[in-house]
Amino acid sequence: MRDGTSTADGLDGLDRPHSLDGGRLSARTATELSRLLRSGEVSAVEVLSDHLARLDEANGAINAVVNIDADGAMREAQRADRAREAGAPLGPLHGLPISIKDTASTTGFPTTSGSPRHANDVATADDLHVARIRAAGAVRIGKTNVPEHAAGSNTFNTLFGPTRNPYDLTRSVGGSSGGAAAALAAGFQPIADGSDMGGSLRNPAAFCNVVGFRPTPGVVPNTSTDVLSTLTVTGPLARTVDDVALLLSVMAGPDARDPLSYAAPTIDAPVQAVPLSGLRIALAPTLGGRTRVDPEIVESVERAARLLEDAGAEIVEVAPDLDGSVEAFRTLRAAEFFDAFGEDLDAGTESFVDFLAANIEEGRRLTAVDVLRAQQVQTRLVREAARFFDDVDVLLSATTSVLPFVVEDRFPRAVAGEPTTDYLSWMEPCLALTPLGVPGISVPNGFSASGLPIGLQLTAGPRRDARLLGIARSVVDVLPPSIRPLAV
């Protein structure tokens, strides 16, 4: 039963087909696998075995998953099977394979953050969201690759090397959750955790033809950092909206150690689709001209808007007032980076990639007044978001400014024919929205003329995460299927 042929049920009940071989267990969604596991039609060992086989086939070329512990994963799968056979209560992620983002700690695995200095830093405890994932029954395989210290949106580092796009091995997977997105696209796992500061869930999802969800700050508590911040959040990736909701339902929930966390409305999995008819959708492919975007991506957003209008939605061309957003993001991010890495930079205990070192130095030059003024801008933006989303249900925009670029280029040197200024400027379609404190999701939106994935970004009002998932569930149903053969 390892190849899944005895369980082939077609795509009934799935909210999105994908490019993987549908006859294999490793091609099934988490929602479908969960049903098969709970019914006993397949075992956790069988599910894991096919995902490990898929890793053997393609991870050498893609390099999405690092520090794999196949034996440990098999022991966890066997324990999951024994629990089902004993009639024990099964968690919502029972038997589902996962590798954890390599910036998050999980017991027994190194947490390297893509840095040689931390190559042997084996975790002795789980981060909160990882503990919740494990308690829900998931089976750990390894860690997913990241850029050095999750800086930037191209997944490469000197410890493990670059992660390559499953649709074109010469191209980037984005980042910083690039290994996670590539692992999903390649069929190495059905769900993945990630984090997002300036697009690190949304950007790689777009590059890899999967779904990445940035929750409202506080939906998933952050107990592993020393600074309270609304910039960085933890969230889920998957191949379907339903699977994203499944993982989010496990990760979400307040924790007293994070005063920003709160009890969000229940996340349904499967998602209850929100009808498109009557929705008021703001169309702003370039966020009202504030970001440069490749014309082919702009056209893909506009094409999606036409399909949504045909389905009954009202499309209005309007964007939120994002004045000062990019500048505030850059200031607050630089301050956080200096706080996190300044001492190591000064002591010479770590050799940082040049653009990260420059970002740390940028933080050193900031004054307290600079940071407070950036926080004032963010406060205004949060209030602007509340006003804007009182008038529209969702904002439709580009997830990325460019198509997946050549992986050896550390970042794109131009966007829409104009030079980029640094490794952050091309990420503005996502990072410009981060200070607003709102949820966002990237869903597959077809392929370019050259065969590369394109993402569509949907953003909703603060704390409307469940509603955004419901809207996204309906949106993917009217978009053309994002199916194209993988490179490996």
Which residues, in sequence order, are bridge partners of residue 168?
165
Asked whether residue 13 carries a pLDDT value surpassing 50, the answer given is no
pLDDT value of residue 143:
99
Domain assignments of the chain as residue spans, ordered by start: 5-478
pLDDT-derived band at 117, boundaries 50, 70, 90: very high
Contact 309, 315 (CB under 8 A): yes
What pLDDT is attached to residue 482?
A: 84
The torsion angles phi and psi of 444, rounded to 5 degrees, stand at -60, 140
Please determine, for residue 4, whether its predicted confidence score (pLDDT) is greater than 70.
Answer: no
Return d(Cα 14, Cα 53) in angstroms, integer.
23
pLDDT for the residue 351: 86
SS3 at position 211: strand
What class has domain 5-478? alpha beta
369 contact partners, CB below 8 Å, separation of at least 6? none
Model pLDDT for residues 27-80, shown as the tens digit of each residue: 999 999 999 999 999 999 999 999 999 999 999 999 999 999 999 999 999 999
The 10s digit of each residue's pLDDT in 385-432 is 999 999 999 999 999 999 999 999 999 999 999 999 999 999 999 999
At position 301, the amino acid (one-letter code) is V
How would residue 16 be classed by pLDDT, with cut points 50, 70 and 90? low
What residues pair up with 406 in beta bridges, in sequence order?
171
For residues 402 and 416, give the distance between their C-alpha atoms in angstroms, rounded to a whole number.
Answer: 8
Residues 6+ apart with CB under 8 A from 158: 116, 148
Structure tokens at 177: 């959750």
**171 bridge partner residues:** 406
**Residues 298 and 401 sit within 8 Å (Cβ to Cβ):** no
What are the tens digits of pLDDT across the range 304-352? Answer: 999 999 999 999 999 999 999 999 999 999 999 999 999 999 999 888 9
Whether residue 7 has pLDDT greater than 80: no
Q: Identify the DSSP state of 177.
A: S
pLDDT score at 19: 79
pLDDT tens sequence across 254-278: 999 999 999 988 999 999 999 999 9
Per-residue pLDDT tens digits for 429-483: 999 999 999 999 999 999 999 999 999 999 999 999 999 999 999 999 999 888 8
115, with CB counted inside 10 A (0-12, 13-18, 19+), is buried
Give SS3 for 454.
Answer: strand
Extract the runs of DSSP E, i.e. beta strands, from 61-138: 65-66, 97-101
Any idea which residues carry the catalytic annotation? 101, 176, 200
Tell me the C-alpha distance between 75 and 94, whole Å: 14
pLDDT for the residue numbered 15: 55
pLDDT at 5 over 70: no
Mean pLDDT computed over 215-225:
95
Provide the pLDDT for residue 18: 72
Structure tokens at 330: 């850059």
- Write down the pLDDT at residue 20: 85
